[in-house]
């Protein structure tokens, strides 16, 4: 039993991924906003309190420590909106008077700089304040100054601002959902056009997919078109094979039929031999076309292990030609794979090695290499070779009529047919030991 049900569509999967991520990021941003807002507010308040303490210290020093000479009172409260307390050995001034229960203990404290008071149990004074305390000496007189601010009002303002930020975040989330939905629909338009093209292809309106696909979908469109090309090629080959077979067996069948219908001539040994020869020709043509129909050509997802197949074929041919040596040279590993259908690779290697084995004197060499996305198959023998002016005829279709006769023409037409279907090339040249060298190149 799976823990998560598979998404029903790409849109659902994207929404399932992007929407929670967007909401999560927005929630994190809102929390960080709250923390930063509180920290910035505290630092701002501390800076103001510090400046106001410095202001009071300056006036006290100008008054030479005489607190009663300071013009504080309502002016200080109305301009700075802060409560303060000043204490000397002979006098204590606290304004406003309602803050005395909370500021008096702070005057007796030894703590300097910022002081935070939480949940103070006082009747008229605030319960949550931030104060800045500083002690100094003027004319050998110790002076203590405290300036404080009610954080309750500030926190209410922060809470209101934070609430508005939450409202804006929720609106942004809805806007984000709309943008995500619009972006998904916009990005899925190529899929819709591709779906329409597939419907047209199914109905026969078009033969190939020409939809304007984005870069991510181009490999898919190319693979589909290659698959269509492969199907068309197979259909054309099937039609060609049927036409060739019909043409090639028509004459032998007519000859046999004529002999059987001619009641005036007895079926002597010569006629029996002639009929057998005709039927043998028909059998050879059928076998050749059946072998040709088995070639698959390039197929998506099909691959072969060239080293393993080559070793198997060399072992088998070594038993077929025990007096000759078959050698393999390659830099490929056993796990190396080529995008060639296994039966096609067997036909290529089998025909080349069989021809080389029949015509070699002592040794056949097979080389498998891969360079610059090209698969190289090289088969050389040390036989008598083929004259240069006759190599152009090797593998031609007209030369396959004597397919049963040993020689370099046996199976080479099959090799060329298969290689051509992979858009490769087969070349014939003289080998280093005087025999024939066959080089097959296939793009991988």
Q: Is the pLDDT of residue 29 over 80?
A: yes
The structure's pTM equals: 0.44
Judge whether 352 and 416 are in contact, CB under 8 Å.
no
Judge whether 237 and 257 are in contact, CB under 8 Å.
no
Q: Out of 129-143, 193-207, 264-278, 373-387, which region has the weakest mean confidence (pLDDT)?
A: 264-278
Cα separation, 20 vs 16, in Å, equals 7
CATH code, 323: 3.30.565.10
Answer yes or no: is 318 within a domain.
yes
Q: Is the pLDDT of residue 1 over 50?
A: no
Does 152 lie in the same domain as 18? yes
pLDDT band for position 249 (50/70/90)? low
Does 419 lie in the same domain as 374? yes
Over range 25-32, report the average pLDDT.
Answer: 85
Looking at per-residue pLDDT, the higher value among 342 and 281 belongs to 342
Query: Which of 26-40, 66-80, 116-130, 371-385: highest mean pLDDT?
Result: 371-385
pLDDT band for position 174 (50/70/90)? confident
pLDDT band for position 271 (50/70/90)? low
The pLDDT tens digits for 289-340 are: 666 555 555 555 568 899 999 998 898 888 888 899 999 999 999 999 998 8
Alpha helices in 2-135 (DSSP H): 10-62, 73-80, 100-108
243: containing domain: 218-293
Predicted pLDDT at 406: 46
Answer yes or no: is 187 within a domain.
no
Predicted pLDDT at 441: 93
Cα separation, 7 vs 18, in Å, equals 14
Query: How open is the CA angle 326-394-368, to the nearest 5 degrees?
Result: 35
Predicted pLDDT at 370: 92
Predicted pLDDT at 408: 44
**Percent of all residues in the chain with a pLDDT value above 90, rounded to a whole number:** 11
Judge whether 340 and 442 are in contact, CB under 8 Å.
yes
Answer yes or no: is 237 within a domain.
yes
Distances (CA, A) of 20 to 6, 15, 16, 173: 17, 8, 7, 10
Q: Pick the last residue of a domain from 235, 265, 293.
A: 293
Predicted pLDDT at 442: 92
Answer yes or no: is 60 within a domain.
yes
Over range 390-394, report the average pLDDT.
Answer: 80
| Residue 148 phi, psi dihedral angles, 5° rounding | -135, 160
Q: Is the pLDDT of residue 18 over 50?
A: yes
Structure tokens of 91? 């006098």
Q: Is the pLDDT of residue 251 over 60?
A: no
Does 395 lie in the same domain as 366? yes
Answer yes or no: is 42 within a domain.
yes
Q: Pick the last residue of a domain from 140, 156, 172.
A: 156
CATH code, 24: 3.30.450
Q: Pick the last residue of a domain from 156, 173, 193.
A: 156
User: Total structural domains in the chain?
Assistant: 3
The pLDDT tens digits for 404-428 are: 444 444 578 888 888 888 889 999 9
Residue 287: DSSP 8-state = H
Query: How open is the CA angle 281-286-287, to the nearest 5 degrees?
Result: 100
Q: Out of 41-50, 247-256, 275-284, which region has the weakest mean confidence (pLDDT)?
A: 247-256
Instruction: Compute the mean pLDDT over every residue in the chain, rounded to the nearest whole number.
Output: 78
Predicted pLDDT at 34: 82
Q: Is the pLDDT of residue 281 over 70?
A: no
Over range 358-384, report the average pLDDT.
Answer: 91
Q: Is the pLDDT of residue 216 over 80?
A: no
Predicted pLDDT at 328: 94
């Amino acid at each position: 039993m799976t823990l998560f049900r598979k998404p029903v569509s790409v849109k659902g999967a994207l929404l399932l991924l992007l929407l929670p991520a967007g909401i999560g990021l927005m929630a994190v941003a809102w929390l960080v906003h709250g923390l930063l807002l509180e920290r910035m507010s505290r630092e701002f308040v501390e800076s103001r309190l510090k400046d106001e303490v410095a202001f009071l210290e300056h006036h006290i020093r100008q008054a030479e420590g005489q607190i009663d000479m300071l013009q504080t009172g309502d002016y200080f409260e109305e301009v700075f909106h802060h409560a303060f307390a000043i204490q000397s050995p002979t006098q204590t001034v606290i304004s406003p008077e309602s803050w005395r229960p909370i500021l008096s203990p702070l005057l007796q404290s030894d703590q300097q700089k910022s002081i935070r008071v939480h949940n103070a149990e006082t009747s008229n004074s605030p319960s949550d304040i931030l104060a800045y305390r500083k002690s100094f000496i003027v004319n050998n007189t110790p002076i203590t100054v405290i300036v404080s601010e009610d954080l309750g009002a500030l926190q209410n303002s922060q809470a209101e601002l934070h609430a508005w930020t939450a409202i804006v975040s929720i609106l942004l989330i809805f806007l984000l959902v709309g943008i995500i939905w619009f972006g998904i629909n916009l990005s899925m338009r190529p899929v819709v056009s591709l779906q329409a093209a597939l419907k047209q292809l199914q109905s026969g309106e078009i033969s190939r997919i020409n939809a304007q696909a984005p870069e991510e979908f181009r490999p898919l469109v190319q693979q589909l078109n290659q698959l269509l090309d492969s199907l068309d090629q197979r259909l054309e080959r099937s039609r060609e094979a049927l036409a060739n077979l019909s043409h090639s067996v028509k004459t032998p069948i007519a000859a046999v039929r004529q002999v059987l219908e001619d009641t005036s001539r007895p079926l002597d040994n010569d006629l029996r031999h002639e009929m057998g020869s005709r039927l043998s020709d028909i059998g050879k043509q059928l076998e050749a076309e059946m072998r040709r129909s088995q070639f698959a050509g390039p197929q998506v997802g099909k691959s072969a292990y060239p080293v393993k197949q080559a070793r198997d074929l060399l072992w088998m041919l070594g038993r077929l030609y025990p007096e000759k040596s078959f050698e393999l040279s390659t830099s490929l590993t056993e796990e190396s794979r080529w995008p060639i259908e296994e039966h096609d690779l067997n036909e290529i290697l089998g025909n080349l090695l069989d021809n080389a084995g029949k015509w070699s004197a002592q040794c056949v060499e097979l080389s498998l290499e891969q360079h610059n996305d090209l698969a190289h198959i090289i088969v050389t023998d040390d036989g008598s070779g083929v004259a240069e002016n006759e190599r152009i005829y090797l593998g031609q279709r007209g030369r396959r009529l004597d397919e049963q006769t040993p020689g370099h023409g046996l199976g080479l037409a099959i090799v060329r047919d298969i290689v051509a279907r992979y858009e490769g090339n087969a070349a014939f040249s003289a080998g280093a030991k005087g025999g024939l060298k066959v080089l097959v190149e296939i793009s991988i």
